[in-house]
Amino acid sequence: MEAKANGPSVNAGRVMDGPTNPMVTPLLTDLYQFTMAYAYWKAGKHNDRAVFDLYFRKNPFGGEFTVFAGLEECIKLIANFKLTEEEISFICETLPGSCEEGFVKYLRNIDCSDVEVYAISEGTVVFPKVPLLRVEGPVAVVQLLETPVLNLVNFASLVATNAARHRLVAGKSKMLLEFGLRRAQGPDGAISASKYCYIGGFDATSNVAAGRFFGIPLRGTHSHAFVSSFMSPDEILERSLHRSDGSSTCEDFVSLVQSWLSKIQWSKALGNSVGETNQSELAAFTSYALAFPNNFVALVDTYDVMRSGVPNFCAVALALNDLGYKSVGIRLDSGDLAYLSGEARKIFQIIEKEFELPGFGKTSITASNDLNEETLDALNKQGHEVDCYGIGTYLVTCYAQAALGCVFKLVEINNQPRIKLSEDVSKVSIPCKKRCYRLYGREGYSLVDIMTGENEPCPKVGERILCRHPFNESKRAYVVPQRVEELLKCYWPGKSGKVREELPALKDIRDHCIKQLEQMRPDHIRRLNPTPYKVSVSAKLYDFIHFLWLNEAPVGELQ
């Protein structure tokens, strides 16, 4: 499968493909990154070695977990980070004042060969304060990366988390379809939502472009307009349909459908309750079945689900069955989904019995129409017969919380640790180039994440270690890990010579995410009052943070 739009041609000969969206270039950044680059360059500081952490402060959607996503696109940006001459001219025209020739030369030469990126694997369940990415390199270059990397991680992680939350409430057995393209925040708000919803546990998308870019399974049937574009079955000119096995041809499939419809209408088992159905709907269903006899799915709510849509669907499905085809199911897009799915299920079961059609009772029921976590939860509580959900607006726009607040903070420059203070303790940054570990307990669940200074020894299996809350001195606990996982791996070694972690295939990221969620202690991921997962620092790092904090903070004067 061809899976990429072409990146800017200047990047030909690059070590890996560019970002999916060709609009992701070094100009996709805030102007102040360029003004700062100029100021750093003027001050001769542009090559100062800086370390930045990318992290968030609070899990989204009132939950206690986040799925990290967006890494692959970040690495593709970094691998291809190079300004074109046109871009450089534009920057020079845009910077206030005149731009010195030396700076133009500098811009011409910058790339990410001297940058190192450590990151948590994409699809991992992550928590506040722990760096998702650690980016190290010349300060001016790393700052240019700040904005695009935040842009690529923030929405990706937000929507992957949203998808994972929808999966958790829907349950493993349901099919989940992402239907968000028409309401998403722009074209790649949609395309990237499709990608990251798949990572978060969705099964397929309606978005053809996303299917092509990423190889995500595609699903889709027909709309209300299709139904209302027909007037009556008389319109259908080509009425023949081969049997499924090719052995013969039914010359008038339309009449076969009509005859089944009248059997349904006169069926005692159905209580003689089926009256006249809508003929334009019947024509649309019949036409759709003629086009896709192996994949007949009908949208049954254009006129009236129980009085028209479901009987019309059953008539067409029974006619298809005569010719050896198995229908897929119906879609409900309005009304009381719990009630209607239950009523439709009853009809399918009666027909299975009445017309001896084994399996027809299990005909698939898809529900759509402004679904979200809350409505799925409400459906579960009421009881329903839905097998598959099509979820759009609330999923892809992350309607319940439309942004994740990842930040990118300087933690070290020229080997000097830096701290960002704030009146609000939750906004104080954790200084130093760090290592991060996840410690697992006896039951296989992860117990705590711990950050240490870069040169501290790695926590060891079976050895007791003190884990401290970074800012609350009374919160600390000893842990004896049964397994220790180092979280940050080298995804972009620059010229350091370190081994570069491979970027996994999308399917593998998805599998990793699903496995990760299965390994979480259930109380951390439940919807109602989830337990916060513990994030800690080593005793040594704790002491250093507080030493630095006192050192930097001005002593107040009460007047």
Site for a second copy in 292-321 (CB under 8 A): 292-295, 302-304, 307-308
375 binding a second copy? (CB under 8 A): no
Binding mask 94-133 for a second copy (x = CB under 8 A): xxxx------------------------------------
Q: Using an 8 Å Cβ cutoff, are 332 and 300 in contact?
A: yes
How far apart, in whole angstroms, are the C-alpha atoms of residue 428 and residue 155?
Answer: 23
Q: What is the number of residues in the chain?
A: 559
Where are the strands (E) in 59-170, listed by range? 66-67, 116-119, 125-126, 133-138
- What's the closest the beta carbon of residue 476 comes to a second copy, in angstroms? 28
- The residue with tokens 């919807």 is 527
Considering only residues 396 to 435 of the shown chain, the ones binding a second copy according to CB under 8 A are 397-399, 401-406, 408-410, 413, 416, 418-423
- What's the closest the beta carbon of residue 441 comes to a second copy, in angstroms? 35
**Is residue 148 classed as helix, strand or coil in its secondary structure?**
helix
- What's the closest the beta carbon of residue 87 comes to a second copy, in angstroms? 8
Q: Between 332 and 465, whose beta carbon lies closer to a second copy? A: 332
Can you tell me which of 148, 311, 329, 530 binds a second copy, judged by CB under 8 A? 148
- With b for 16 or more beta-carbon neighbours within 10 A and e for fewer, the 272-301 pattern comes to eebeebbbbbbbbbbbbbbebbeebbbbbb
- What's the closest the beta carbon of residue 36 comes to a second copy, in angstroms? 5
- What's the closest the beta carbon of residue 359 comes to a second copy, in angstroms? 19
- What's the closest the beta carbon of residue 545 comes to a second copy, in angstroms? 15
- What's the closest the beta carbon of residue 521 comes to a second copy, in angstroms? 30
Considering only residues 167 to 186 of the shown chain, the ones binding a second copy according to CB under 8 A are 179, 181-186
32 binding a second copy? (CB under 8 A): yes
- What's the closest the beta carbon of residue 97 comes to a second copy, in angstroms? 5
Q: Between 42 and 495, whose beta carbon lies closer to a second copy? A: 42
CB-based contacts of 315, cutoff 8 Å, min separation 6: 257, 258, 260, 261, 264, 277, 282
Can you tell me which of 107, 164, 191, 323 binds a second copy, judged by CB under 8 A? 191
Considering only residues 34 to 63 of the shown chain, the ones binding a second copy according to CB under 8 A are 34-36, 38-40, 42-45, 48, 50, 52
- The residue with tokens 């009881």 is 383
How far apart, in whole angstroms, are the C-alpha atoms of residue 360 and residue 50?
Answer: 64
473 binding a second copy? (CB under 8 A): no
Q: Using an 8 Å Cβ cutoff, are 48 and 413 in contact?
A: yes
Here the tokens at position 315 are: 């008539």
State how beta strands 465-468 and 476-479 pair: antiparallel
Q: Using an 8 Å Cβ cutoff, are 257 and 293 in contact?
A: no
* Cβ count within 10 A of residue 159: 31
- What's the closest the beta carbon of residue 499 comes to a second copy, in angstroms? 29
369 binding a second copy? (CB under 8 A): no
278 binding a second copy? (CB under 8 A): yes
354 binding a second copy? (CB under 8 A): no
How far apart, in whole angstroms, are the C-alpha atoms of residue 91 and residue 165?
Answer: 42
Can you tell me which of 207, 366, 375, 516 binds a second copy, judged by CB under 8 A? 207
Q: Using an 8 Å Cβ cutoff, are 379 and 387 in contact?
A: no
CB-based contacts of 55, cutoff 8 Å, min separation 6: 128, 129, 130, 131, 132, 406, 407, 409
Answer positive or negative: Cα dihedral of 226, 227, 228, 231.
Answer: positive
Can you tell me which of 134, 166, 167, 219 binds a second copy, judged by CB under 8 A? 219
How far apart, in whole angstroms, are the C-alpha atoms of residue 331 and residue 364?
Answer: 8
Q: Between 178 and 449, whose beta carbon lies closer to a second copy? A: 178
246 binding a second copy? (CB under 8 A): no
438 binding a second copy? (CB under 8 A): no
Q: Between 424 and 443, whose beta carbon lies closer to a second copy? A: 424
How far apart, in whole angstroms, are the C-alpha atoms of residue 371 and residue 163?
Answer: 12
Considering only residues 498 to 517 of the shown chain, the ones binding a second copy according to CB under 8 A are none
198 binding a second copy? (CB under 8 A): no
190 binding a second copy? (CB under 8 A): yes
Q: Between 366 and 538, whose beta carbon lies closer to a second copy? A: 366
Can you tell me which of 11, 206, 363, 375 binds a second copy, judged by CB under 8 A? 206
First-to-last C-alpha distance (Å) of the chain: 70
Here the tokens at position 98 are: 């005149």
Q: Between 264 and 520, whose beta carbon lies closer to a second copy? A: 264
Can you tell me which of 68, 81, 127, 155 binds a second copy, judged by CB under 8 A? 155
68 binding a second copy? (CB under 8 A): no
For residue 554, what is the DSSP state?
Answer: P
Closest residue by Cα to residue 50 from 152, 137, 160, 177: 137
Binding mask 222-241 for a second copy (x = CB under 8 A): xxxxx-xxxx---xxxx---
- What's the closest the beta carbon of residue 8 comes to a second copy, in angstroms? 9
At 199, give phi and psi (nearest 5°): -55, -40
Q: How many residues bind a second copy (CB under 8 A)?
A: 127
* Cβ count within 10 A of residue 458: 10
Here the tokens at position 380 are: 């579960």
Can you tell me which of 17, 90, 243, 485 binds a second copy, judged by CB under 8 A? 90
